[in-house]
Chain A
Amino acid sequence: QQNVQQSPESLIVPEGARTSLNCTFSDSASQYFWWYRQHSGKAPKALMSIFSNGEKEEGRFTIHLNKASLHFSLHIRDSQPSDSALYLCAVRTGGYKVVFGSGTRLLVSP
């Protein structure tokens, strides 16, 4: 049974700071990894995904995956107030089932 945990639960950072969000998973057979972002009152929206060990950068966002340590993370460079949202990590092992973490609520203060 896949267990996905996120840390921290909430985070307040000043504008311009670097933010790091963490996600651990329990099933070593996991193959697909996502970060979703949900602004208040809106649908969760996929932010980034990674399918193999290493790093992937898209603009101010970097996702890092280490399958051996059952860990992946999201790093936000130069955090902006518009980045304030609930961040959900998600893991899929194979089939159609995706397991989510409980989320990290990020607040970027101007």
Chain B
Amino acid sequence: DTTVKQNPRYKLARVGKPVNLICSQTMNHDTMYWYQKKPNQAPKLLLFYYDKILNREADTFEKFQSSRPNNSFCSLYIGSAGLEYSAMYLCASRQGQDTQYFGPGTRLLVL
């Protein structure tokens, strides 16, 4: 089973409120990623976990948090959502040098 699951699939949030998105995979992959995708733009890497080590991109360092309580789960946390956070959030996992497997995404709308 090469399924990556994401919850929720759709999320409506108010400006200034927190948002927590969940990703899970049962492939025992060592690396999990979070991307932000806006229309007509490339998926933008936000952060990734290699095992228990979190790597956050410099330009989004303060905007997103994450946790990986075990190998299967990874969350993406926004402390205070702004309008600019409205986007599709894609989770992916990978083992070693292999291909990334993506989840279906969570569409976040901030009002």
Contact A100:B104 (CB < 8 A) given known A34-B99, A46-B99, A49-B99? no
* Contact present for B105 and A97 (CB under 8 Å): no
Q: Which residues of A contact B99 (CB under 8 A)?
A: 34, 46, 49
Task: Mark B residues whose CB is within 8 Å of A.
Answer: 4, 31, 33, 35, 40-43, 45, 48, 50, 55, 90, 94, 97, 99-105
Q: Which residues of B contact A103 (CB under 8 A)?
A: 40, 42
Decide yes or no whether A11 CB sits under 8 A from chain B.
no
Smallest beta-carbon distance B107→chain A, Å: 10
Decide yes or no whether A88 CB sits under 8 A from chain B.
yes
Smallest beta-carbon distance A50→chain B, Å: 12
Contact A101:B42 (CB < 8 A) given known A96-B48, A96-B50? yes
Per DSSP, chain B at the interface is strand
Q: Which residues of B contact A4 (CB under 8 A)?
A: 42
Smallest CB gap from A90: residue in B: B100
* Contact present for A96 and B55 (CB under 8 Å): yes
Q: Which residues of A contact B97 (CB under 8 A)?
A: 32
* Contact present for A42 and B48 (CB under 8 Å): no
Q: Which residues of B contact A97 (CB under 8 A)?
A: 45, 48
* Contact present for A44 and B45 (CB under 8 Å): no
Smallest CB gap from A101: residue in B: B42
Decide yes or no whether A70 CB sits under 8 A from chain B.
no
Contact A46:B50 (CB < 8 A) given known A88-B43, A96-B31, A97-B45? no
Q: What is the CA–CA distance of A99 and B41 in the complex, to the nearest angstrom?
A: 12
A100 is contacted by which of B42, B50, B101 (Cβ under 8 Å)? B42
Interface 1/0 per residue, A64-101 and B, CB below 8 Å: 00000000000000000000000010100000111111
